[in-house]
A = this chain, B = another copy of it.
């Protein structure tokens, strides 16, 4: 729960000592606080040839109320910003020595159609990266490669991944770098996602690639308030009594949702206490029980539900030669099969309403595999399959399904890992530290957001751009 090294090297004495010894100094990440402005500072805009997203970016900049400066690659920005009545200026290369003036770098690469047109990306980040402050944000915007008309365009757009991930590894200082592919026609659906990636809510999300598609069904977003986007919505969270589940419940409640927390009967007291603080509803069910999905459906039937977060999960680690059949079966069942049973029950009865959200919790182990976790990694890889397979099925009903894949998160579970392994897990990422439960919870809240209707079938890692992958 506590990274004492991070605290130490950010104390006055510790910082001096770390500097003199050449030790790594992980940045204290800025995280969302309701009492601080969510957006501020100066955003630099860059662009490749014929950018398609500047209008949408101008709307975003207007909505969140930041000041922008145009890099020379984005000559179209100044007149556009003027038309939107925005304060804007030009980014002067001479300023590039003055570190820390910018809070975000946004590059619109959507018009790049050939590998020979990638040069403006170099120009922009070459000129601006040193001016980006601590915990700054890098967002590259492109078109989904697989939807591109020509192989040349697909290739150039796919190349953006290598750039963005490299920038995340170079930038350090708590800076995140993410790539957002915007489908043709989805330009007006980018705001919720860009707000997430620009804000402190995405503190531990870096090196990710997210696709925004055209929303199924209605043209207009259902109305919502950016300050309470989940107001009037009902959210089920499994495993909500403690830890990451309680954090998810808390963040969804803060965004306005009524939370129905589910946990096993033995955790009833903790669940009741967590739900009482959030004005939520506690339901004690063991999701491993065959009858649980029907019971959960019955309990939710009358009022329905808008958001389902499958957070409940267990580990029973052993190498496979020493793993009992029961340890294998229970991990697969609780982490994967129970999600399938619950979703099927809620979907068949229409309890999960149209326009709803399903969010699973996968894991870096499900992506990369892990020693001693054949059961856990199999179940968490299955969660990825679940998301990818269900997304097209649910599209007609406007329901999205996605998963988060946490890396090293500081919890009671990870606190039990032996120190040297824990330290390796903590430091082997671009943030040089573990994440907090709230980082997972905020990512889930973005996926649950009514403005995220175009985000479905995706796996988003919350791992600080962990080195570990597949």
Inter-chain CA distance A96–B321, complex, in Å, is 10
Type the 1/0 row for A146-174, where 1 means its CB is closer than 8 Å to any CB of B.
Answer: 10101110111111111111111110000
Segment from A114-122, A220-228, A279-287, A415-423 that makes contact with B: A114-122
A368 interface residue (CB < 8 Å to B): yes
Contacts of A122 in B (CB 8 A): 320, 323, 325, 328-329, 374-375
Task: List 10 tightest A-B contacts by C-beta distance, closest first.
Answer: A469-B469, A158-B385, A165-B369, A162-B381, A159-B382, A162-B377, A154-B389, A151-B389, A166-B369, A155-B385
Q: What 14 new A-B contacts, CB under 8 Å, besides A157-B385, A166-B373?
A: A115-B340, A116-B337, A122-B320, A126-B328, A145-B388, A155-B336, A158-B385, A159-B332, A161-B470, A162-B381, A163-B374, A166-B370, A170-B320, A170-B374
Number of copies: 2
Distance A379 CA – B158 CA, assembled complex (angstroms): 10
Main secondary structure of the interface of A (DSSP, over half): helix
User: Is A294's beta carbon under 8 Å from chain B?
Assistant: no
Is A68 an interface residue, CB under 8 A from the partner?
Answer: no
Which of B116, B370, B378, B467 contacts A468, CB < 8 Å?
B467
B145 touches A369 (CB 8 A): no
Within 8 A of B (CB), among A161-206: 161-170
CB 8 Å contact bits of A240-263 with B (1 = contact, 0 = none):
000000000000000000000000
**B207/A323 in contact, CB under 8 A:** no
Contact B321 A129 (CB under 8 A): yes
Q: Beyond A158-B381, A468-B468, is A386–B151 a contact (Cβ under 8 Å)?
A: yes
Q: Hey, which bits of chain A sit against chain B, CB under 8 A?
A: 96, 114-116, 118-119, 121-123, 125-126, 129-130, 145-146, 148, 150-152, 154-170, 207, 319-321, 323, 325, 328-329, 332-333, 336-337, 340, 365-382, 384-386, 388-390, 393, 467-470
The answer for the CA separation of A118 and B371 in the assembled complex, in Å, is 19
